[in-house]
A and B are shown apart, each in its own frame.
Chain A
Protein backbone atom coordinates (compact mmCIF):
# COMPACT_ATOMS: atom_id res chain seq x y z
CA UNK A 1 0.00 0.00 0.00
CA UNK A 2 1.21 3.43 -0.91
CA UNK A 3 -0.15 6.24 1.21
CA UNK A 4 -1.28 9.37 -0.56
CA UNK A 5 -2.38 12.85 0.49
CA UNK A 6 -4.61 14.78 -1.91
CA UNK A 7 -4.06 18.52 -1.97
CA UNK A 8 -6.46 20.47 -4.15
CA UNK A 9 -8.77 23.33 -3.33
CA UNK A 10 -11.69 21.85 -5.30
CA UNK A 11 -13.58 19.34 -3.22
CA UNK A 12 -15.37 17.93 -6.27
CA UNK A 13 -12.06 17.29 -7.95
CA UNK A 14 -10.64 15.66 -4.81
CA UNK A 15 -13.54 13.29 -4.38
CA UNK A 16 -13.55 12.49 -8.09
CA UNK A 17 -9.86 11.72 -8.08
CA UNK A 18 -10.16 9.73 -4.87
CA UNK A 19 -12.73 7.37 -6.33
CA UNK A 20 -10.68 6.96 -9.49
CA UNK A 21 -7.42 6.06 -7.82
CA UNK A 22 -6.07 2.53 -7.91
CA UNK A 23 -6.90 0.14 -5.07
CA UNK A 24 -3.19 -0.11 -4.30
CA UNK A 25 -3.23 3.49 -3.10
CA UNK A 26 -4.45 4.48 0.32
CA UNK A 27 -5.67 8.03 0.59
CA UNK A 28 -4.70 9.28 4.06
CA UNK A 29 -6.43 12.60 3.81
CA UNK A 30 -7.30 15.66 1.81
CA UNK A 31 -6.22 19.27 2.14
CA UNK A 32 -7.59 22.36 0.46
CA UNK A 33 -5.15 25.13 1.41
CA UNK A 34 -1.43 25.64 1.78
CA UNK A 35 -1.55 25.72 5.58
CA UNK A 36 -3.80 22.70 5.82
CA UNK A 37 -1.52 20.78 3.49
CA UNK A 38 1.64 21.63 5.42
CA UNK A 39 0.01 20.59 8.72
CA UNK A 40 -1.36 17.33 7.32
CA UNK A 41 1.94 16.39 5.67
CA UNK A 42 3.69 16.92 8.98
CA UNK A 43 1.11 14.87 10.86
CA UNK A 44 0.40 12.04 8.42
CA UNK A 45 3.75 11.67 6.65
CA UNK A 46 2.29 10.25 3.42
CA UNK A 47 4.59 8.62 0.92
CA UNK A 48 3.28 10.72 -1.94
CA UNK A 49 1.53 14.08 -1.97
CA UNK A 50 -0.62 14.78 -5.01
CA UNK A 51 -0.27 18.52 -5.12
CA UNK A 52 -2.24 21.06 -7.09
CA UNK A 53 -0.04 23.84 -8.46
CA UNK A 54 -2.60 26.51 -7.60
CA UNK A 55 -3.64 26.65 -3.98
CA UNK A 56 -5.11 29.35 -1.80
CA UNK A 57 -3.73 30.26 1.60
CA UNK A 58 -0.22 30.62 2.99
CA UNK A 59 1.65 33.53 1.51
CA UNK A 60 0.19 32.93 -1.92
CA UNK A 61 2.93 30.64 -3.20
CA UNK A 62 0.59 27.75 -4.02
CA UNK A 63 2.00 24.24 -4.47
CA UNK A 64 5.60 25.42 -4.51
CA UNK A 65 5.11 26.98 -1.08
CA UNK A 66 3.80 23.70 0.34
CA UNK A 67 6.93 21.93 -0.85
CA UNK A 68 9.21 24.68 0.42
CA UNK A 69 7.63 24.61 3.87
CA UNK A 70 7.85 20.81 4.02
CA UNK A 71 11.46 20.84 2.83
CA UNK A 72 12.72 18.94 5.90
CA UNK A 73 10.56 15.97 4.91
CA UNK A 74 11.64 15.84 1.26
CA UNK A 75 13.61 12.67 1.95
CA UNK A 76 10.55 10.69 2.99
CA UNK A 77 7.62 12.51 1.43
CA UNK A 78 7.54 12.82 -2.33
CA UNK A 79 5.54 15.37 -4.27
CA UNK A 80 3.77 14.89 -7.57
CA UNK A 81 2.46 18.11 -9.09
CA UNK A 82 -1.00 18.03 -10.54
CA UNK A 83 -2.27 20.89 -12.61
CA UNK A 84 -4.85 21.81 -15.20
CA UNK A 85 -1.93 22.05 -17.63
CA UNK A 86 -0.69 25.40 -16.61
CA UNK A 87 1.85 27.91 -17.71
CA UNK A 88 5.43 26.73 -17.78
CA UNK A 89 6.22 29.21 -15.06
CA UNK A 90 4.00 27.40 -12.55
CA UNK A 91 5.15 23.94 -13.52
CA UNK A 92 8.83 24.78 -13.44
CA UNK A 93 8.19 26.55 -10.14
CA UNK A 94 6.94 23.41 -8.37
CA UNK A 95 9.51 21.17 -10.01
CA UNK A 96 12.32 23.43 -8.90
CA UNK A 97 10.83 23.55 -5.43
CA UNK A 98 11.30 19.79 -5.28
CA UNK A 99 8.37 17.99 -6.91
CA UNK A 100 9.31 14.64 -8.48
CA UNK A 101 7.06 15.03 -11.47
CA UNK A 102 4.17 16.72 -13.10
CA UNK A 103 0.98 15.42 -14.68
CA UNK A 104 -2.09 17.18 -15.99
CA UNK A 105 -5.49 16.98 -14.38
CA UNK A 106 -6.87 15.57 -17.60
CA UNK A 107 -5.00 12.33 -16.93
CA UNK A 108 -7.15 9.30 -16.18
CA UNK A 109 -7.30 7.70 -12.75
CA UNK A 110 -5.11 4.86 -13.98
CA UNK A 111 -2.50 7.27 -15.29
CA UNK A 112 -2.45 9.22 -12.04
CA UNK A 113 -2.16 5.99 -10.05
CA UNK A 114 0.74 4.78 -12.18
CA UNK A 115 2.47 8.13 -11.76
CA UNK A 116 1.97 8.04 -7.99
CA UNK A 117 3.46 4.56 -7.78
CA UNK A 118 6.42 5.60 -9.90
CA UNK A 119 7.07 8.63 -7.71
CA UNK A 120 6.75 6.49 -4.58
CA UNK A 121 9.47 4.24 -6.01
CA UNK A 122 11.73 7.25 -6.30
CA UNK A 123 11.33 7.78 -10.02
CA UNK A 124 10.62 11.01 -11.77
CA UNK A 125 7.45 11.40 -13.79
CA UNK A 126 7.64 13.36 -16.99
CA UNK A 127 4.70 14.05 -19.25
CA UNK A 128 5.43 14.43 -22.98
CA UNK A 129 4.85 18.14 -22.57
CA UNK A 130 7.32 18.52 -19.75
CA UNK A 131 9.86 16.52 -21.75
CA UNK A 132 9.35 18.86 -24.70
CA UNK A 133 9.82 21.81 -22.43
CA UNK A 134 13.03 20.38 -21.02
CA UNK A 135 14.42 19.79 -24.53
CA UNK A 136 13.71 23.37 -25.45
CA UNK A 137 14.84 25.00 -22.23
CA UNK A 138 18.15 23.14 -22.17
CA UNK A 139 18.89 24.05 -25.76
CA UNK A 140 18.80 20.43 -26.93
CA UNK A 141 16.85 21.31 -30.05
CA UNK A 142 19.38 23.97 -30.91
CA UNK A 143 22.09 21.30 -30.72
CA UNK A 144 23.66 22.02 -27.34
CA UNK A 145 24.88 19.04 -25.39
CA UNK A 146 26.71 18.40 -22.16
CA UNK A 147 30.32 17.22 -22.48
CA UNK A 148 30.63 15.96 -18.90
CA UNK A 149 28.11 14.40 -16.58
CA UNK A 150 28.65 17.13 -13.98
CA UNK A 151 27.36 19.83 -16.25
CA UNK A 152 24.02 21.10 -15.00
CA UNK A 153 23.08 23.47 -17.77
CA UNK A 154 22.90 21.06 -20.67
CA UNK A 155 21.65 17.54 -21.34
CA UNK A 156 23.86 14.65 -22.34
CA UNK A 157 23.24 12.89 -25.64
CA UNK A 158 21.57 9.97 -23.91
CA UNK A 159 19.37 12.24 -21.81
CA UNK A 160 18.30 14.05 -24.93
CA UNK A 161 17.37 10.77 -26.61
CA UNK A 162 15.33 9.71 -23.62
CA UNK A 163 13.56 13.07 -23.41
CA UNK A 164 12.81 13.02 -27.14
CA UNK A 165 11.19 9.62 -26.90
CA UNK A 166 9.13 10.65 -23.87
CA UNK A 167 8.04 13.73 -25.76
CA UNK A 168 6.97 11.42 -28.58
CA UNK A 169 4.64 9.65 -26.17
CA UNK A 170 6.77 6.59 -25.29
CA UNK A 171 6.46 4.96 -21.89
CA UNK A 172 9.67 4.23 -19.95
CA UNK A 173 9.43 0.60 -20.98
CA UNK A 174 9.13 1.53 -24.62
CA UNK A 175 12.01 3.99 -24.32
CA UNK A 176 14.14 1.20 -22.84
CA UNK A 177 13.30 -1.17 -25.69
CA UNK A 178 13.90 1.50 -28.30
CA UNK A 179 17.33 2.44 -26.97
CA UNK A 180 18.32 -1.14 -26.01
CA UNK A 181 18.84 -0.20 -22.39
CA UNK A 182 17.13 -1.34 -19.20
CA UNK A 183 14.13 0.42 -17.70
CA UNK A 184 16.32 1.11 -14.68
CA UNK A 185 18.75 3.04 -16.85
CA UNK A 186 15.91 5.05 -18.37
CA UNK A 187 14.76 5.94 -14.88
CA UNK A 188 18.29 6.98 -13.97
CA UNK A 189 18.44 9.29 -16.97
CA UNK A 190 15.06 10.82 -16.19
CA UNK A 191 16.06 11.40 -12.58
CA UNK A 192 19.26 13.04 -13.77
CA UNK A 193 17.26 15.37 -15.99
CA UNK A 194 14.94 16.17 -13.11
CA UNK A 195 17.95 17.03 -10.97
CA UNK A 196 19.28 19.34 -13.66
CA UNK A 197 15.87 20.95 -13.96
CA UNK A 198 15.90 21.59 -10.22
CA UNK A 199 19.48 22.69 -9.80
CA UNK A 200 20.46 24.32 -13.06
CA UNK A 201 20.88 28.05 -13.04
CA UNK A 202 20.44 28.15 -16.76
CA UNK A 203 19.11 31.55 -17.68
CA UNK A 204 16.75 30.27 -20.36
CA UNK A 205 14.86 28.13 -17.88
CA UNK A 206 13.27 31.04 -16.13
CA UNK A 207 13.02 33.33 -19.11
CA UNK A 208 11.54 30.55 -21.18
CA UNK A 209 9.09 29.67 -18.50
CA UNK A 210 7.95 33.24 -18.16
CA UNK A 211 7.57 33.81 -21.85
CA UNK A 212 5.87 30.65 -22.90
CA UNK A 213 2.74 29.02 -21.74
CA UNK A 214 2.89 25.29 -21.40
CA UNK A 215 -0.55 24.68 -22.81
Chain B
Protein backbone atom coordinates (compact mmCIF):
# COMPACT_ATOMS: atom_id res chain seq x y z
CA UNK B 1 0.00 0.00 0.00
CA UNK B 2 1.40 3.33 -0.93
CA UNK B 3 1.03 6.13 1.52
CA UNK B 4 1.42 9.01 -0.86
CA UNK B 5 -1.34 10.76 0.97
CA UNK B 6 -3.14 13.38 -1.04
CA UNK B 7 -3.39 16.64 0.83
CA UNK B 8 -7.03 17.63 1.21
CA UNK B 9 -7.67 21.21 0.17
CA UNK B 10 -7.53 23.90 2.84
CA UNK B 11 -11.18 24.23 3.82
CA UNK B 12 -13.08 25.08 6.95
CA UNK B 13 -15.49 22.33 8.08
CA UNK B 14 -19.17 23.20 8.40
CA UNK B 15 -19.43 21.72 11.88
CA UNK B 16 -16.83 23.79 13.70
CA UNK B 17 -15.80 24.60 17.24
CA UNK B 18 -15.33 28.30 16.57
CA UNK B 19 -14.35 29.13 13.02
CA UNK B 20 -13.11 25.74 11.91
CA UNK B 21 -9.68 27.20 11.21
CA UNK B 22 -7.69 24.79 13.37
CA UNK B 23 -9.57 21.72 12.17
CA UNK B 24 -9.26 22.80 8.56
CA UNK B 25 -5.57 23.59 8.87
CA UNK B 26 -4.90 20.30 10.65
CA UNK B 27 -6.69 18.32 7.96
CA UNK B 28 -4.76 20.14 5.25
CA UNK B 29 -1.35 19.73 6.89
CA UNK B 30 -2.18 16.15 7.96
CA UNK B 31 -1.31 17.08 11.54
CA UNK B 32 -3.30 16.21 14.64
CA UNK B 33 -5.83 18.95 15.50
CA UNK B 34 -4.51 19.17 19.05
CA UNK B 35 -1.02 20.17 17.84
CA UNK B 36 -2.44 22.96 15.72
CA UNK B 37 -4.55 24.21 18.62
CA UNK B 38 -1.58 24.25 21.00
CA UNK B 39 0.46 26.09 18.38
CA UNK B 40 -2.20 28.75 18.02
CA UNK B 41 -2.48 29.04 21.80
CA UNK B 42 1.26 29.59 22.05
CA UNK B 43 1.13 32.20 19.31
CA UNK B 44 -1.61 34.08 21.15
CA UNK B 45 0.84 34.57 24.01
CA UNK B 46 3.21 36.34 21.60
CA UNK B 47 1.33 39.61 22.03
CA UNK B 48 -1.75 38.23 20.29
CA UNK B 49 -0.11 37.07 17.06
CA UNK B 50 -2.17 33.85 17.21
CA UNK B 51 -5.43 35.83 17.19
CA UNK B 52 -4.33 37.83 14.17
CA UNK B 53 -3.27 34.68 12.32
CA UNK B 54 -6.52 32.98 13.28
CA UNK B 55 -8.67 35.87 11.98
CA UNK B 56 -6.56 36.16 8.84
CA UNK B 57 -6.92 32.43 8.06
CA UNK B 58 -10.62 32.58 8.91
CA UNK B 59 -11.17 35.36 6.40
CA UNK B 60 -9.18 33.76 3.61
CA UNK B 61 -9.99 30.06 3.95
CA UNK B 62 -13.05 28.96 1.97
CA UNK B 63 -15.84 27.02 3.61
CA UNK B 64 -16.04 23.33 2.90
CA UNK B 65 -18.32 22.77 -0.06
CA UNK B 66 -21.60 21.05 0.89
CA UNK B 67 -21.94 17.47 -0.33
CA UNK B 68 -25.46 17.73 -1.65
CA UNK B 69 -27.92 20.19 -0.17
CA UNK B 70 -26.55 23.51 1.08
CA UNK B 71 -25.75 22.69 4.70
CA UNK B 72 -25.81 25.30 7.44
CA UNK B 73 -22.69 26.10 9.45
CA UNK B 74 -22.76 25.17 13.13
CA UNK B 75 -20.30 26.35 15.79
CA UNK B 76 -19.97 24.59 19.11
CA UNK B 77 -18.65 27.53 21.16
CA UNK B 78 -21.49 29.91 22.18
CA UNK B 79 -19.43 32.96 21.18
CA UNK B 80 -22.29 35.42 21.65
CA UNK B 81 -22.85 34.26 25.23
CA UNK B 82 -19.11 34.45 25.94
CA UNK B 83 -19.02 38.02 24.62
CA UNK B 84 -22.05 38.99 26.72
CA UNK B 85 -20.27 37.61 29.78
CA UNK B 86 -17.17 39.63 28.90
CA UNK B 87 -19.34 42.73 28.50
CA UNK B 88 -20.93 42.08 31.89
CA UNK B 89 -17.47 41.82 33.44
CA UNK B 90 -16.46 45.11 31.79
CA UNK B 91 -19.56 46.81 33.21
CA UNK B 92 -18.70 45.52 36.69
CA UNK B 93 -15.16 46.85 36.33
CA UNK B 94 -16.58 50.16 35.15
CA UNK B 95 -18.92 50.35 38.13
CA UNK B 96 -16.02 49.70 40.50
CA UNK B 97 -13.82 52.24 38.73
CA UNK B 98 -16.58 54.87 38.74
CA UNK B 99 -17.19 54.43 42.48
CA UNK B 100 -13.49 54.84 43.21
CA UNK B 101 -13.17 57.63 40.62
CA UNK B 102 -10.41 56.06 38.57
CA UNK B 103 -11.18 57.89 35.35
CA UNK B 104 -8.91 56.10 32.79
CA UNK B 105 -10.18 52.69 33.92
CA UNK B 106 -13.80 53.85 33.55
CA UNK B 107 -13.18 54.99 29.98
CA UNK B 108 -11.44 51.75 29.08
CA UNK B 109 -14.21 49.69 30.71
CA UNK B 110 -16.98 51.57 28.86
CA UNK B 111 -15.11 51.06 25.62
CA UNK B 112 -14.69 47.35 26.38
CA UNK B 113 -18.38 47.01 27.27
CA UNK B 114 -19.34 48.64 23.97
CA UNK B 115 -17.02 46.40 21.94
CA UNK B 116 -18.09 43.18 23.68
CA UNK B 117 -21.85 43.89 23.63
CA UNK B 118 -21.72 45.10 20.05
CA UNK B 119 -19.69 42.03 19.13
CA UNK B 120 -22.17 39.69 20.77
CA UNK B 121 -25.11 41.28 18.97
CA UNK B 122 -23.28 41.22 15.64
CA UNK B 123 -22.32 37.59 16.13
CA UNK B 124 -25.84 36.65 17.08
CA UNK B 125 -27.29 38.37 14.00
CA UNK B 126 -24.68 37.31 11.46
CA UNK B 127 -23.61 33.82 12.52
CA UNK B 128 -26.13 32.46 15.00
CA UNK B 129 -29.16 33.43 12.95
CA UNK B 130 -28.08 30.95 10.25
CA UNK B 131 -27.12 28.26 12.75
CA UNK B 132 -29.90 25.74 13.37
CA UNK B 133 -28.36 24.61 16.67
CA UNK B 134 -28.87 28.08 18.18
CA UNK B 135 -32.47 28.69 19.16
CA UNK B 136 -34.28 31.94 18.50
CA UNK B 137 -34.74 32.29 22.24
CA UNK B 138 -30.97 32.25 22.71
CA UNK B 139 -30.59 35.08 20.18
CA UNK B 140 -33.26 37.15 21.90
CA UNK B 141 -31.59 36.55 25.26
CA UNK B 142 -28.18 37.64 23.94
CA UNK B 143 -29.56 40.82 22.39
CA UNK B 144 -31.64 41.72 25.44
CA UNK B 145 -28.68 41.21 27.75
CA UNK B 146 -26.44 43.27 25.45
CA UNK B 147 -29.00 46.09 25.39
CA UNK B 148 -29.23 46.21 29.18
CA UNK B 149 -25.47 46.09 29.58
CA UNK B 150 -25.00 48.93 27.10
CA UNK B 151 -27.66 51.06 28.81
CA UNK B 152 -26.19 50.34 32.21
CA UNK B 153 -22.63 51.10 31.06
CA UNK B 154 -23.81 54.34 29.49
CA UNK B 155 -25.74 55.51 32.56
CA UNK B 156 -22.95 54.68 34.97
CA UNK B 157 -20.47 56.49 32.70
CA UNK B 158 -22.70 59.59 32.57
CA UNK B 159 -23.56 59.66 36.26
CA UNK B 160 -19.98 59.30 37.46
CA UNK B 161 -18.06 62.56 37.51
CA UNK B 162 -17.25 62.18 33.89
CA UNK B 163 -14.66 63.63 31.62
CA UNK B 164 -15.40 64.43 27.99
CA UNK B 165 -14.05 61.08 26.78
CA UNK B 166 -16.21 58.95 29.06
CA UNK B 167 -19.29 61.13 28.42
CA UNK B 168 -18.95 60.64 24.67
CA UNK B 169 -18.41 56.90 25.06
CA UNK B 170 -21.36 56.63 27.43
CA UNK B 171 -23.66 58.41 25.01
CA UNK B 172 -22.40 56.10 22.30
CA UNK B 173 -23.27 53.13 24.51
CA UNK B 174 -26.83 54.37 24.99
CA UNK B 175 -27.30 55.07 21.29
CA UNK B 176 -25.98 51.58 20.49
CA UNK B 177 -28.41 50.07 22.98
CA UNK B 178 -31.29 51.70 21.14
CA UNK B 179 -29.88 50.56 17.81
CA UNK B 180 -29.57 46.96 19.01
CA UNK B 181 -33.27 46.96 19.86
CA UNK B 182 -34.11 47.75 16.25
CA UNK B 183 -31.28 45.83 14.62
CA UNK B 184 -32.92 42.43 13.96
CA UNK B 185 -35.83 44.07 12.17
CA UNK B 186 -33.53 46.18 10.04
CA UNK B 187 -31.33 43.22 9.16
CA UNK B 188 -34.25 41.04 8.05
CA UNK B 189 -35.76 43.92 6.12
CA UNK B 190 -32.48 44.57 4.39
CA UNK B 191 -31.76 40.96 3.44
CA UNK B 192 -35.28 40.33 2.18
CA UNK B 193 -35.05 43.54 0.16
CA UNK B 194 -31.80 42.38 -1.42
CA UNK B 195 -33.18 38.92 -2.20
CA UNK B 196 -36.31 40.37 -3.71
CA UNK B 197 -34.37 42.76 -5.88
CA UNK B 198 -32.12 40.00 -7.17
CA UNK B 199 -35.12 37.83 -8.01
CA UNK B 200 -36.82 40.68 -9.82
CA UNK B 201 -33.76 41.45 -11.89
CA UNK B 202 -33.49 37.79 -12.89
CA UNK B 203 -37.14 37.64 -13.84
CA UNK B 204 -36.96 40.84 -15.85
CA UNK B 205 -33.97 39.63 -17.78
CA UNK B 206 -35.62 36.35 -18.52
CA UNK B 207 -38.84 38.00 -19.66
CA UNK B 208 -36.88 40.32 -21.91
CA UNK B 209 -34.98 37.45 -23.50
CA UNK B 210 -38.19 35.48 -23.90
CA UNK B 211 -39.95 38.41 -25.55
CA UNK B 212 -37.09 38.97 -27.92
CA UNK B 213 -36.71 35.33 -28.92
CA UNK B 214 -40.43 35.03 -29.23
CA UNK B 215 -40.58 37.91 -31.64
CA UNK B 216 -37.65 36.80 -33.73
CA UNK B 217 -36.59 33.19 -33.62
CA UNK B 218 -39.95 31.54 -33.01
CA UNK B 219 -41.51 33.49 -35.86
CA UNK B 220 -38.75 32.43 -38.19
CA UNK B 221 -39.05 28.81 -37.15
CA UNK B 222 -42.80 28.92 -37.75
CA UNK B 223 -42.20 30.40 -41.15
CA UNK B 224 -39.65 27.75 -42.07
CA UNK B 225 -42.14 25.09 -41.15
CA UNK B 226 -44.92 26.46 -43.30
CA UNK B 227 -42.66 27.19 -46.24
CA UNK B 228 -40.85 23.88 -46.18
CA UNK B 229 -43.95 21.70 -46.04
CA UNK B 230 -44.72 19.64 -42.99
CA UNK B 231 -43.09 16.45 -44.24
CA UNK B 232 -39.66 17.76 -45.12
CA UNK B 233 -36.43 17.40 -43.21
CA UNK B 234 -36.04 21.13 -42.72
CA UNK B 235 -39.50 21.46 -41.23
CA UNK B 236 -38.77 18.62 -38.87
CA UNK B 237 -35.61 20.27 -37.61
CA UNK B 238 -37.32 23.64 -37.32
CA UNK B 239 -40.11 22.09 -35.31
CA UNK B 240 -37.73 20.32 -32.99
CA UNK B 241 -35.86 23.57 -32.46
CA UNK B 242 -39.08 25.44 -31.84
CA UNK B 243 -40.18 22.93 -29.26
CA UNK B 244 -36.85 23.04 -27.48
CA UNK B 245 -36.77 26.82 -27.41
CA UNK B 246 -40.37 27.03 -26.28
CA UNK B 247 -39.74 24.59 -23.46
CA UNK B 248 -36.86 26.71 -22.30
CA UNK B 249 -38.71 30.01 -22.65
CA UNK B 250 -41.95 29.08 -21.02
CA UNK B 251 -41.02 26.29 -18.67
CA UNK B 252 -41.53 27.19 -15.04
CA UNK B 253 -38.55 27.46 -12.81
CA UNK B 254 -39.74 24.60 -10.70
CA UNK B 255 -39.39 21.30 -12.53
CA UNK B 256 -42.83 19.77 -12.84
CA UNK B 257 -43.11 16.24 -11.63
CA UNK B 258 -43.41 13.75 -14.42
CA UNK B 259 -46.96 13.09 -15.40
CA UNK B 260 -48.46 11.10 -18.20
CA UNK B 261 -49.06 14.15 -20.37
CA UNK B 262 -45.50 15.42 -20.06
CA UNK B 263 -44.15 11.97 -20.78
CA UNK B 264 -46.26 11.58 -23.89
CA UNK B 265 -45.14 15.00 -25.07
CA UNK B 266 -41.54 13.96 -24.69
CA UNK B 267 -42.13 10.75 -26.61
CA UNK B 268 -43.84 12.72 -29.37
CA UNK B 269 -40.88 15.07 -29.61
CA UNK B 270 -38.49 12.13 -29.88
CA UNK B 271 -40.56 10.47 -32.61
CA UNK B 272 -40.77 13.72 -34.55
CA UNK B 273 -37.00 13.74 -34.70
CA UNK B 274 -36.90 10.35 -36.38
CA UNK B 275 -39.89 10.47 -38.72
CA UNK B 276 -41.39 13.11 -40.93
CA UNK B 277 -44.46 13.62 -38.85
CA UNK B 278 -46.09 16.35 -36.78
CA UNK B 279 -47.50 15.15 -33.51
CA UNK B 280 -49.80 17.52 -31.67
CA UNK B 281 -50.33 16.52 -28.07
CA UNK B 282 -53.37 18.08 -26.40
CA UNK B 283 -53.93 17.38 -22.75
CA UNK B 284 -56.83 18.12 -20.47
CA UNK B 285 -57.73 17.34 -16.92
CA UNK B 286 -55.61 16.93 -13.87
CA UNK B 287 -51.91 16.16 -13.99
CA UNK B 288 -51.43 12.57 -12.94
CA UNK B 289 -48.18 10.91 -12.01
CA UNK B 290 -47.22 8.16 -14.38
CA UNK B 291 -49.47 5.40 -13.16
CA UNK B 292 -48.89 2.77 -15.72
CA UNK B 293 -45.88 1.96 -17.83
CA UNK B 294 -48.22 -0.11 -20.00
CA UNK B 295 -50.33 2.91 -20.95
CA UNK B 296 -47.32 5.03 -21.85
CA UNK B 297 -45.71 2.13 -23.70
CA UNK B 298 -48.84 1.39 -25.70
CA UNK B 299 -49.30 5.09 -26.52
CA UNK B 300 -45.71 5.23 -27.70
CA UNK B 301 -46.22 2.23 -29.93
CA UNK B 302 -49.37 3.76 -31.37
CA UNK B 303 -47.59 7.04 -32.09
CA UNK B 304 -44.70 5.16 -33.68
CA UNK B 305 -47.14 3.24 -35.88
CA UNK B 306 -48.79 6.46 -36.93
CA UNK B 307 -45.40 8.01 -37.71
CA UNK B 308 -44.20 4.98 -39.69
CA UNK B 309 -47.30 4.13 -41.68
CA UNK B 310 -49.20 7.40 -41.89
CA UNK B 311 -46.91 10.37 -41.33
CA UNK B 312 -48.20 13.89 -41.81
CA UNK B 313 -50.28 15.23 -38.96
CA UNK B 314 -50.98 13.08 -35.94
CA UNK B 315 -53.26 14.23 -33.15
CA UNK B 316 -52.83 12.91 -29.63
CA UNK B 317 -55.45 13.74 -27.04
CA UNK B 318 -55.02 12.90 -23.37
CA UNK B 319 -57.86 13.27 -20.92
CA UNK B 320 -57.15 12.40 -17.33
CA UNK B 321 -59.56 12.57 -14.44
CA UNK B 322 -59.25 11.29 -10.92
CA UNK B 323 -60.96 8.09 -12.03
CA UNK B 324 -59.41 7.23 -15.41
CA UNK B 325 -57.09 8.19 -18.24
CA UNK B 326 -57.99 8.11 -21.91
CA UNK B 327 -55.51 8.57 -24.71
CA UNK B 328 -56.52 8.97 -28.34
CA UNK B 329 -54.01 8.77 -31.16
CA UNK B 330 -55.37 9.78 -34.52
CA UNK B 331 -53.54 9.69 -37.84
CA UNK B 332 -54.49 10.40 -41.43
CA UNK B 333 -52.79 7.46 -43.06
CA UNK B 334 -54.16 4.68 -45.27
CA UNK B 335 -55.73 3.01 -42.22
CA UNK B 336 -55.50 -0.50 -40.86
CA UNK B 337 -58.02 -3.24 -40.45
CA UNK B 338 -57.30 -5.52 -37.52
CA UNK B 339 -59.13 -8.44 -39.10
CA UNK B 340 -57.02 -8.44 -42.23
CA UNK B 341 -53.78 -7.68 -40.48
CA UNK B 342 -51.16 -10.40 -40.90
CA UNK B 343 -50.20 -12.26 -37.77
CA UNK B 344 -46.63 -11.08 -37.90
CA UNK B 345 -47.58 -7.47 -37.31
CA UNK B 346 -46.79 -7.61 -33.65
CA UNK B 347 -47.05 -3.87 -33.19
CA UNK B 348 -50.75 -3.42 -32.79
CA UNK B 349 -51.76 -6.83 -31.58
CA UNK B 350 -49.11 -7.33 -28.94
CA UNK B 351 -47.60 -4.00 -28.04
CA UNK B 352 -50.84 -2.09 -27.94
CA UNK B 353 -53.84 -4.32 -27.39
CA UNK B 354 -52.08 -7.10 -25.46
CA UNK B 355 -50.19 -4.68 -23.26
CA UNK B 356 -53.28 -2.70 -22.32
CA UNK B 357 -55.33 -5.82 -21.64
CA UNK B 358 -52.69 -7.20 -19.32
CA UNK B 359 -52.61 -3.89 -17.44
CA UNK B 360 -56.36 -4.09 -16.97
CA UNK B 361 -57.19 -1.40 -19.50
CA UNK B 362 -58.75 -1.31 -22.94
CA UNK B 363 -57.38 -0.62 -26.38
CA UNK B 364 -59.46 -0.21 -29.51
CA UNK B 365 -58.17 0.40 -32.98
CA UNK B 366 -60.58 1.58 -35.59
CA UNK B 367 -60.72 3.30 -38.91
CA UNK B 368 -61.47 6.96 -38.43
CA UNK B 369 -64.22 8.77 -40.23
CA UNK B 370 -62.76 10.13 -43.43
CA UNK B 371 -59.70 7.90 -43.46
CA UNK B 372 -56.90 7.26 -41.06
CA UNK B 373 -56.75 5.27 -37.90
CA UNK B 374 -57.66 6.10 -34.36
CA UNK B 375 -56.27 4.19 -31.41
CA UNK B 376 -58.07 4.64 -28.12
CA UNK B 377 -56.38 3.57 -24.91
CA UNK B 378 -58.31 3.65 -21.67
CA UNK B 379 -57.26 2.82 -18.15
CA UNK B 380 -59.12 3.02 -14.86
CA UNK B 381 -56.95 4.56 -12.21
CA UNK B 382 -56.44 2.64 -9.04
CA UNK B 383 -54.86 4.50 -6.21
CA UNK B 384 -52.36 2.58 -4.21
Complex Cα distance A177/B374, Å? Answer: 15
Interface residues in B179-225 by Cβ distance below 8 A to A read 214-215, 218-220, 222-223, 225
Closest to A135 in B: B284
A140 to B284, CA, bound (A): 9
Contact assessment for B284 and A174 in the assembled complex, using a CB-CB cutoff below 8 Å: no
- A85-109 CB mask vs B (1 if < 8 Å, else 0) is 1010000000000000000111111
Is A40 part of the contact surface with B, judged by Cβ < 8 Å? Answer: no
Residues of A within 8 A of B218 (CB): 84
B359-384: CB near A (< 8 Å → 1, else 0) gives: 00000000011100010000000000
User: Do the beta carbons of A128 and B282 come within 8 Å of each other?
Assistant: yes
Whose C-beta in chain B lies nearest to the C-beta of A143? Answer: B321
The answer to whether the Cβ of B285 comes within 8 Å of any Cβ in the partner chain is yes
**Stretch from A10-18, A67-75, A197-205 that touches the partner:** A10-18
The number of residue pairs between A and B whose CB atoms lie closer than 8 Å in the complex comes to: 98
Chain A residues near B330: list those with CB within 8 A. Answer: 168-170
- Sorting the interface of chain A by its residue count into under 10, 10 to 19, 20 to 34 or 35 or more gives 35 or more
Alpha-carbon distance A171/B231, docked complex (angstroms): 20
Is A108 a contact partner of B317 (Cβ separation < 8 A)?
no
Q: Does A196 contact B (CB under 8 A)?
A: no
Structural contact, B369 and A106, CB atoms closer than 8 A = no
Cβ of A142 within 8 Å of any chain B Cβ, yes or no, is yes
B321 contact set on A, CB distance < 8 A: 141-143
Besides A54-B215, A142-B321, A215-B246, 9 other A-B contacts (C-beta < 8 A): A17-B226, A84-B214, A129-B280, A135-B319, A164-B317, A164-B319, A167-B284, A168-B328, A173-B370
- A-B pairs with the 7 shortest C-beta distances? A169-B315, A105-B222, A132-B282, A141-B285, A174-B369, A169-B330, A177-B369
Q: List 12 A-B contacts (CB under 8 A).
A: A9-B215, A10-B215, A20-B227, A85-B246, A104-B222, A105-B219, A132-B317, A142-B285, A168-B315, A170-B330, A174-B368, A177-B370
